[in-house]
Structure 1
Amino acid sequence: MKIKRSSYHLSYYHILLFISHLWSGIDSELLPGYHINVPHRVTVQRGLCVYIPCNFTVPKTETLTRNAKGIWYNKNEQIVASKRNGLHFPNKRFFLAGDVWRGDCSLYIENPLYEDRYRFRVEDNIEFSYRDIKPYVDVTELKSKPEISPIKSWIDGEEVTLSCTSPGTCVQIKPQITWGVNIKNVRVGNKIINHENGTKTHFSTITFTARKEQNNSPLSCIVQLKGGLTTAQQITMKVEYPLRAPEIKCSIINKEPKIPSSSGCTMDANNTIYPLEGSWLSLTCSADRLPTSSLGWKSSNGTLTSFSTVNLTFINVSLTAEGIYTCQATNTYESKETSVTMKILYSPRFVDGRCHKVENRLECTCLIQSFPEPTLKWKHNGVSYNNANHMNDKISIFTGKSKSGTNSTLTLQINTGESQNIQCVASNIHGELVLELFNETAQLTSKAFPSAAIFAGCFAAVLIVTGVLLIIFYRKRKMMQNKEASMPTHDSVVENIYDNSEMFSNGLNEVGKIPQQDHQPPPEDGSVDLNCENVQYMSVNFSKLKPKVTATESEAEEVEYSVVKRTA
């Protein structure tokens, strides 16, 4: 009876096994207890790998053992991966990553060559193929790039370590990672991180010291995969550096050819510049800094405060421009400044000078300002004396310096009656100044000036009166000549008389008739016979004399003619 029961149970087991074989071609969703959870579609880049998560179930009446075997087939029903009891049967590029006896059917694919569709099958005390979901793997071109980290800005002098991680976490793919950077003294290392699922992460590190010269320079990481596939990532390095003291540069804007462009713009050890008076000057401020900062100017005398320009221009620079000019650079971290002192070069100029004569001694002082300091000398009647301290029996010179300038004093013994000419001569490389402080001859001349002026005035008055008299004389003489020239001649008088008959009366019987006289020849002895017997008298009225009318005027007037008969 016991034997029959055992044979009965064995026959039942075989029946179930047979039925499972029959159902292996049926979709699992139609059979209770058989289910698979896997993505319908996945995408992988050429040269990389993809992990397809998968888990499955069997009926509760069935228990999978450690000897359970999982198999993956492609669409051509070729086995691409299988696993039993932790042992892989890989096809070099395909791996069954999960534990089959735990219901894990996860598939791992490396460097897929083309698109394909896959299905899963389990074999243990049961055999079953899951056909309801067949994941499709889509292969695309390589687009992923390596990852560089950290990406940030560094400080000049800081030691920097960057890492470059290859795309994909594969099992057998071993990428080659290289760095593309123009940096000296770098250290490079390649490392691998192993994960529990058997995948690996490949990355490389590079260590160097950041310098400001590397700012905005490129840094790249190149990853080379199987089949000659290459991918790369590039970043731009940002290297900040502490704010340095600003730099001031000077240039001369040529106003005249005589002023060289480099004159006065060379700074000495004390940051002092020496422009020439009258020149055009430009100061430029610059600061080497990152991040950027604002620049501005301020002056010691308070006449200038500007935070809107980096250039200062001085036109026709004068002594009022002397002082300290400070350029200030400020950013979010700190503020620094640099100063320059401006000292104007100019030729000697007179401040004060005079001479005082006491009996036979002459004392003179001369105060001069210039930069650089002047060289002073004295001239007495054309003879030069150096500006150094000079003393003898006749002359004494003392020269010193004060805040007001260079001062020199001359004491001179003189002889009464001699001419004295004193000159103070100051000079430097930019010019010479000659001052005549005393001239005795000029002083005497100035005393005689009033009498000489009176004499000159009187002489000028005499000349003026004489000239006026001469002019009057010649004008009167000319008027008399014109008057004589305008007086009528004898013929014209007679003609006028005859033409104006109205002026005659009491002596003429007829108008215009003149009595005839016998004309006898003169005696032969030359004597004159005065015959007064035939003298006739008449009256002449000159008030009735009319002016003679010219031919032109007579033509314009109506003239009446009368015939005068003359009888013998």
Structure 2
Amino acid sequence: MLWLNVQRSVTVQKGLCLRVPCSFIPPGDSSEPTSGHWYRMPRKNMIEQTKSVTTNSSLQLLGDPGAGNCTLGIMSPRKRDTGRYYFQLDRGPARYSNRNDSLSVQVTELTELPDIRVQEPLQSGSPSRLTCSLPGACDGAWAPTISWTGAALGPSGVYEAREIQLTPRPQDHNTNLTCRVAFPGTAPSRERTLRLQVSYPPQSLTIHVCQGNRTGPEAQGNSSSRLVPEGAALCLVCVADSNPPSRLSWAWRSWALNPLKPSGPGVLELPGVQWDQEGELTCLAEHPRGNLSASIHLSVFSTPHLQGLSCSWEKEVLHCSCSSRAWPAPTLRWQLGDYTLEVTSNDTVQVTTSSGGPWANSTLSLHGELGASLRLSCEARNAHGEQRAGVLLMPGKRELRGGFVLGSMVGAGVAGLLALCLYLTFFLVKTCRKKAPKRAAGLEEAPSTQQRHVSWGEGLHYASLNFLELRPREPPGQDALNSTEYSEIKTKQ
């Protein structure tokens, strides 16, 4: 009787290999020739010739029976190899076995999947080893064929080996690499797909500019520029192509190294851009494997806006001042009639100009007599627009040097004089109506309106005088009604 030290039942998948350890204490004379065999037992209620399986290509005796080793190798079995097996020892003329001490072998369908192992982290530009194996696969003549497919493998995209060396590129990130295990014969093939996770530093850095309803890439690489109207709402979105994601930060005017806290990852919001926010904004992408930066230059602009033009007489000298706000700061110039007054200083004209930030200021002093009805204007101009304001120098009853009075933007001096004329006109008209109430009802009032306007350029200030003349049909000879009086003053802008 032979007693085996072996497990009673094993299960192996179709096409795989299994090694079943087995041992026993050899009986009899060890000097006798010794051999061992595994036999398949006949199925119940069926007469079947018992035959050795040592010549079966699927089951083989691996151990040395003379040393008490009966280890069994199951190589790429098929479904028909399922059954019970017992071991028999032949020593000289004696045969030893124990059919009650048998091994049950169960062959099932192949469900095992390949196992892919990445030996080193996948980093762009650095080689890494990858291995593919199928647990339980055979070696040697029964070993399956292992192949790789994927765009990361290069132009051919196919490689046959259990182990490959891969040097990934940034574009290989999130691509598929497939390992396929094919068995000889009719056994099905198995495969597993790995999605590559490649670490790479920032490859590109793009700044998107959002202004109003428009969004689009504005800066890519090292520098770009954007023209922004003052007061506009602006948002900048920085996008970096890297894995893992880079840490994004903003800096304003890189020379000052003043970081601005973004409202989100890579997002910088500027609710109302001001002239003093002009300059370079830099987005920095920081990554463990390298950094990258991109900049955009904000050029803020606004059109000139005149804040006021005022003039006054002082010691027979006309003094005028003009100020304007714009960015870039505007240039101011004076126009007297058809002549442009440059920045100068002499006995007749003194013109000075100064600027600070978005403001520009200019003063004008005129000495001597001035011609009749001259136009004086101040013009503010920059590359984005211009604006002009003016006053009219008019002849008047009050004698000043040169025989002129000043009709300014607000007409303050004229308004006082004409208010008195308006009152006298109203009094005379009322008196005439009382003298001839009935006949006046049949008279045709024929007002003749004459307007003296000064109007030139955009944003000009001028004074308007309306002269009203009453001419009743009867009586035609009233001197009081034939005279012209100031009856209405309008100031327009």
What TM-score does the superposition give when structure 1 sets the normalisation length? 0.59
Structure 2 residue 62 is the aligned partner of structure 1 residue 103: no
Following superposition, the deviation at residue 138 of structure 1 comes to 1.0
Which residue of the other structure, out of 156, 174, 180, is the alignment partner of 2:149? 180
Residues 321 and 184 of structure 1: CA distance in aligned 2, closer, same or farther (over 3 Å): same
Residues 182 and 103 of structure 1: CA distance in aligned 2, closer, same or farther (over 3 Å): same
Counterpart of 1:226 in structure 2 is: 184
Residues 160 and 469 of structure 1: CA distance in aligned 2, closer, same or farther (over 3 Å): farther
Structure 2 residue 173 is the aligned partner of structure 1 residue 215: yes
Residues 38 and 304 of structure 1: CA distance in aligned 2, closer, same or farther (over 3 Å): closer
Of stretches 400-409 and 135-144 in structure 1, the one that deviates more from structure 2 is: 400-409
Letter in 2 for 1:110: M
Counterpart of 1:122 in structure 2 is: 89
Q: Distance in 2 between matches of 1:298 and 1:362?
A: 51
Structure 2 residue 376 is the aligned partner of structure 1 residue 422: yes
CA contact (8 A) 2:180 2:190 kept: yes
Counterpart of 1:275 in structure 2 is: 228
Residues 280 and 358 of structure 1: CA distance in aligned 2, closer, same or farther (over 3 Å): same
Counterpart of 1:142 in structure 2 is: 110
Unaligned segments of structure 2, at least 5 residues: 42-48, 396-403, 441-493
Q: Greater CA radius of gyration, 1 or 2?
A: 1
Which residue of the other structure, out of 35, 39, 43, is the alignment partner of 1:73? 39
Unaligned segments of structure 1, at least 5 residues: 1-27, 29-33, 82-89, 191-202, 255-260, 475-568
Structure 2 residue 380 is the aligned partner of structure 1 residue 431: no
Residues 218 and 263 of structure 1: CA distance in aligned 2, closer, same or farther (over 3 Å): closer
Q: Distance in 2 between matches of 1:280 and 1:457?
A: 54
Q: Distance in 2 between matches of 1:406 and 1:452?
A: 35
CA contact (8 A) 2:350 2:365 kept: yes
Counterpart of 1:443 in structure 2 is: 405
Higher-strand-fraction structure: 2
Q: Distance in 1 between matches of 2:220 and 2:332?
A: 28
Q: Distance in 1 between matches of 2:360 and 2:262?
A: 37
Structure 2 residue 207 is the aligned partner of structure 1 residue 240: no
Of stretches 400-409 and 389-398 in structure 1, the one that deviates more from structure 2 is: 389-398
Tell me the secondary structure at the aligned position of residue 191 of structure 2.
strand
Of stretches 241-250 and 203-212 in structure 1, the one that deviates more from structure 2 is: 241-250
Counterpart of 1:154 in structure 2 is: 122
Q: Distance in 2 between matches of 1:303 and 1:294?
A: 14
Following superposition, the deviation at residue 291 of structure 1 comes to 3.0
CA contact (8 A) 1:189 1:204 kept: no
CA contact (8 A) 1:264 1:274 kept: no
CA contact (8 A) 1:185 1:208 kept: no
Letter in 2 for 1:130: N
Q: Distance in 1 between matches of 2:292 and 2:219?
A: 23
Which residue of the other structure, out of 189, 209, 232, is the alignment partner of 1:250? 209
Counterpart of 1:45 in structure 2 is: 13
Following superposition, the deviation at residue 296 of structure 1 comes to 6.8
Q: Distance in 2 between matches of 1:365 and 1:237?
A: 73
Which residue of the other structure, out of 425, 428, 450, is the alignment partner of 1:459? 425
Counterpart of 1:92 in structure 2 is: 57
Following superposition, the deviation at residue 299 of structure 1 comes to 7.2
Counterpart of 1:370 in structure 2 is: 326
Matched pairs, number: 412
Tell me the secondary structure at the aligned position of residue 326 of structure 2.
strand
Tell me the secondary structure at the aligned position of residue 165 of structure 2.
strand
Q: Distance in 2 between matches of 1:264 and 1:188?
A: 38
Residues 414 and 184 of structure 1: CA distance in aligned 2, closer, same or farther (over 3 Å): farther
CA contact (8 A) 1:377 1:384 kept: no
Tell me the secondary structure at the aligned position of residue 174 of structure 2.
coil
Following superposition, the deviation at residue 266 of structure 1 comes to 7.1
Q: Distance in 1 between matches of 2:339 and 2:370?
A: 21
Output the aligned Cα RMSD.
Answer: 4.6
Which residue of the other structure, out of 287, 294, 301, is the alignment partner of 2:240? 287
Following superposition, the deviation at residue 467 of structure 1 comes to 5.6
Q: Distance in 2 between matches of 1:345 and 1:39?
A: 89
